Structure 1
Amino acid sequence: MRWTRPWRVSVRQNSRYFFSGRISLKVEDFIGDEKLFSIIYHRDSDGLTSAVLMKKYLESLGRRVFLVKPNDAPGIGVTDRLLRSVEGLLVIVDIGVDQTDVPERFDGKILVIDHHIPSRNLNSERILHINPRLEGDDVYRPASYLIWKMFRERVDSEWVAGVGVYGDYGVGNCKDLMDEIAKKYPDILVEKRYDQVAMRESLLAVLSDMIEASRAIGGLRGLNRAFEEFYRANSPSELLRSRLVLYLDKYRGELERLEQDFRENSEYFPNANAYVYMIESRYNLSSSFSTMISEKIPDSVVLILKKNRVLQVNARCQSGRVNVAELMRELTEGIGSGGGHERAAGAHVPRRHVEEFLNRLREKLETFQG
């Protein structure tokens, strides 16, 4: 196989360089004359909309996208089965794949576009790793924004990127995107379009909830349906008349039930101003529920736990008082995996280590010194 020349990243480069037109040229140089692509995305609204934008971008270059799938293992994991189904150059969006062994298990070319705190720089002759944080830019910008910003001359889908940005808590740091949406689709925003809390009342938030509902209620099949609906839609109004509304109704009803149970059964740790709640639901609502609750008590640490094949933990602290990504990494050291963003993070702990994790968690919260 013929490789294009490697792209060497300088971690000293600033965001002005990153968002210049040169970065999109680097992507085109890296993909070279590849004709076939597969896309794997993180299973949330930022990941799905990033995949929609990426597919449209590749097709604008006359390339064929063979496969578009959400990651299919806990957290940010990708199974060997999914990797074996990949054809052509693999594009991974909104997944901190540097925290996994995917680069070692997949020996083809990989384009990674991500915004999570990186644990290593993957750039090499066969991997192009795009993440502003590698270049000293710590401003929080979701992956959907990065893709829109890099390829906006070819992909005219501001509102799609906006759905991902809202879903990943990025409206305040992506003002230029919100301004573009306001010009074309003012009805899906509110007056305070840079305010994440105010935007909760917008139609853009409803569209983001549709994706979360599709994942929570319909699982991977629901996400595949949501991807197709968003990919085909020419305007936001088309989605408001789609089958995704059925997922949304069930989703909202279950969240209301869980909120009442949280008020009655969550455990409060006053030293840390933290709430711990073991969720019980037939649906995969932990991430969405943790976000919803944390919006209402932004200075509190909210920890939502769910027992499946592994213990799944969703951690939030919307005010940023506690860096929950660091908290998750600390509590899972040697017994699981954890990380994410400063205000929203997660962890997975194998069953054999659950008791140790819970002991660590209780000790940390009871003796917390902030």
Structure 2
Amino acid sequence: MDAIIIAHGDLDGMTAAAITIAYLQYNYNLEKYELLFSQPFNLHETLRKIFQRATDMTFIIDIALDEEHWPHIKKELLDLIGKTKIIWIDHHRSTIQHVVELLEMNIPLLASIDGCAATIVGEAFLEKIGDKEFFSKLVVIGEVSDKVKSIPNTHPLKPIIEVLGNALSENPTDDDFKRKLVRTWLKEKTLVTDEAARRSEEAVERLKALLKEASENIIYDTEKLRIIDLRNTRVHGYAGKIASHHANSYKKITLLLFRVGEVNTIVTARVPENIKLDIASILKNLAEKYGGGGGGHPRAASARVPSTMADEFVRELAKKIESSI
């Protein structure tokens, strides 16, 4: 048996992918697998790339269905039907809302909004995997990194999760590094490699500089809302950490603006525990109005809009947030 795994490239997606691969190896004699990483906005492109590759099974893991690109995703899925058995594993509401359409295409959806992708595969597969103790650690790493579980600072996995998260931030588009890390988890049962430790150290220094720059680029600041504009700075991989730092330190909803290429602007949002607000729904609905897309979780989400409309989008977004809290 062989399989293609298409996963989100964060720690939740990576740990869920590793657990899924281990399950297939232990129970279905998985001889060969290919691990690819994708995002909601380019999943259709990834699916198109695997069209000519003959494989028994294809797993889509921890990738939220992007409404803007759903017609393209659906077309690529339909083209793959009959060539490979597709299974989608996800915890995002936008994907779950399409469960009937997926089933009509004979694509089962293993889903739950309680927890994250690592939670789902942990509950489904752990009991049928050798070395359950090690893979249980991967579940915790995925859950904590995705902020659906909290552990005390004294927990032995706490520094490991921090190192791994920092290592991914250092170069979030380096899929080869992610694949090597997953292979190490599967073969050597080692959570942190020397390369991950080195990247983490570099990322810590970079984050310090970016936090200082973020504090100097606050463009809107009220009692419960802060907006930071880093559109002239490369922050890819660090945006969530910067927004989380401001949200948690100052107890304010924090929006962070940055660019991806020349065409799109990303707004990353974080909501502190003291404020009740479903920021994912607000971002998603408003971004669609401006020809973009968005999603995530109630307290941690992002939106992508055309850069030419970013300022207008943020002004309206600020008004919606202020009127909702």
TM-score range, shorter chain: 0.7 to 0.9
Give the 3-state SS of the residue equivalent to 1:97 in structure 2.
Answer: coil
**1:332–1:357 CA contact under 8 A, matched in 2:** yes
Letter in 1 for 2:289: G
Aligned to 1:294: 247
The aligned residue for residue 61 of structure 2 is 93
The equivalent of 1:339 in structure 2 is 295
Structure 1 residues 255 and 154 mapped into 2: Cα distance closer, same or farther (>3 Å)? same
Q: Which one is further off, 52-61 or 288-297? A: 288-297
Deviations 1:247-305 (CA, angstroms, capped at 9, x unpaired): 1001111111222222332234426x1111123236531123323333323x4211111
Match of 2:305 among 328, 337, 349: 349
Select which of 92, 116, 128 maps to 2:108: 128
Give the 3-state SS of the residue equivalent to 2:216 in structure 1.
Answer: helix
1:77: Cα distance to partner? 2.9
Which amino acid in structure 2 is aligned with residue 93 of structure 1?
Answer: I
Q: TM-score, normalised by structure 1?
A: 0.73
Instruction: Please list, as runs of the form range in 1=range in 2, the aligned pairs for 1:297-308 lying within 5 A after superposition.
Output: 297=250, 299-308=251-260
Change (3 A) 1:292 1:70: farther
What's the TM-score, normalizing by structure 2? 0.82
Which secondary structure does the structure 2 equivalent of 1:153 belong to? helix
Using the alignment, how far apart are the partners of 1:220 and 1:79 within structure 2?
20
Name the residue aligned to 2:97.
Answer: 119
Partner of 2:17: 51
Q: What amino acid maps onto 2:288 in structure 1?
A: E
Shift of residue 81, structure 1, vs aligned partner: 4.8
1:264 aligns to 2:216 (yes or no): yes
Task: Mark the CA change 1:56 to 1:270 in structure 2 (over 3 Å): closer, same or farther.
Answer: same
Structure 1, unaligned runs of 5 or more: 1-34, 134-139, 172-194
Deviation string, structure 1 residues 208-244 (Cα, Å, up to 9, x no partner): 33443343223233323332333333244xx2x5211
CA RMSD, 1 decimal: 2.4
1:44/1:211 contact within 8 Å kept:
no
SS at the partner of 2:5? Answer: strand
Contact 2:2-2:33 within 8 A present in 1 as well: yes
For each residue in 1:110-142, what CA deviation from the matched residue of structure 2 results, as whole angstroms up to 9, or x when unmatched? 211111113321223520011124xxxxxx311
Give % identity.
Answer: 19
Segments ≥4 residues shifted beyond 4 Å: none
Cα distance between partner residues in 1 of 2:198 and 2:163: 9
Aligned to 1:167: 145
